[in-house]
Amino acid sequence: MTERRLHRIVTAAIVVAGIGGLAALTLRGQAGTSSAMHVLDIAVAAVSVAAAVAQLWWPMAGALVATLLAVASPVATPAATLGALQVAQCRRLPVAGAVAAAGVAMHLAQGLWRPNTGISLGWWLLLISAAYGAMLGWGALARSRRALLISLRQRARRAEAEQGRRVAEARMAERRKLAGEMHDVLAHRLSLVATHAGALEYRPDSSPEQLARAAGVVRAGVHQALEELRQVINLLREDGEGEDGGPEPQPTLADLPRLVTEAREAGEQVRLRDEVADALALPAATGRTAYRVVQEALTNARKHAAGQPVEVLLRGGPGARLLIDVHNPMPEAGAAPTSPGSGTGLVGLTERVRLAGGRLDHQVVDGRFRLRASLPWPA
């Protein structure tokens, strides 16, 4: 229940209380109540309604005024009990309990001064105590619920911020990983360029054929290095090294059959359809990205849809785009993942494909999870 709706309910209760007070005054006047008491009841009714309205903005002050008025006339009882409810909704339980106890004490004084002929004093106090107890419990429950909702909203905001931080970290980690992979290739190619450029510098007496061959190697190496550098500009990472201390060899599309074989040996049902026109003409960087796409798709299928068959389709050729389509049936309802995931694998993969100039989409279609990637393949 929102604050605005609760205020509407309380306002309606105040109107009902005012009507009840006026009805009580009418009955008292008909029953022969003295004119002085009748005038007092009218004055108390007017002030108690005003105090009840003030409770919407100043609950403590309005509740105390209505409680004090309850000593003089029973027509202030509705406003006093509503005041206890308002205080219980916005103050701690000891304060609200003190206001409720004061209300019971004021009604005891009212019962002694102006006893009700229709009910005994004991039953009167029991009813008043029950009413204040109900108001106190209702207000405390509303206050606890409001505090819980505020806490849940804060936790949701923190969770969103944490997820945003994890996504940013996943993107940065993927960029660093890409930088490490590209560094290995660039170091190799630039070392070849430096070697042949050194030969041109220190062996100017070489034959024209040798000079032309060395210049051609330098030109091709620089062109390839620039192509690789285009993908990793502004990406920084510490050099990764393998077990032998040298750069780790990076897989390409040619290693895909080995990846599928390893998945099958692990018990995964994988069907590979390779319709690539000329795999040898595929750039190394694109081949590595394609390999990572299939690798991540098989990993996700193994985690979240264990035992389900996976179909992998590769299609494309020089001058067209390389299409990667991996799909598998969704797991059965209630099936738990075989191993926990970080939730950022597809985020990093999307960033990798984007940096390669491609596009990656994943969605559920007709009960099957489908991952599609499209990568550029220059002619």
On average, the pLDDT of the chain sits at: 75
pLDDT at 181: 63
Report whether pLDDT(187) > 80: no
What is the SS3 string spanning 150-219? HHHHHHHHHHHHHHHHHHHHHHHHHHHHHHHHHHHHHHHHHHHHHHHHHHHHHCCCCCHHHHHHHHHHHH
Report whether pLDDT(98) > 50: yes
Mean pLDDT, rounded, for 288-315: 85
Mean pLDDT, rounded, for 206-231: 72
**CA–CA gap between residue 311 and residue 308 (Å, rounded):** 10
Per-residue pLDDT reduced to its tens digit, 259-286: 888 888 767 788 999 888 777 788 888 8
pTM: 0.45
Cα-Cα-Cα-Cα torsion 43, 47, 48, 54, nearest 10 degrees, comes to 170
Reduced DSSP (H G I as helix, E B as strand, rest coil) percent helix, strand, coil of the chain, to 5: 65, 10, 25
**CA–CA gap between residue 211 and residue 196 (Å, rounded):** 9
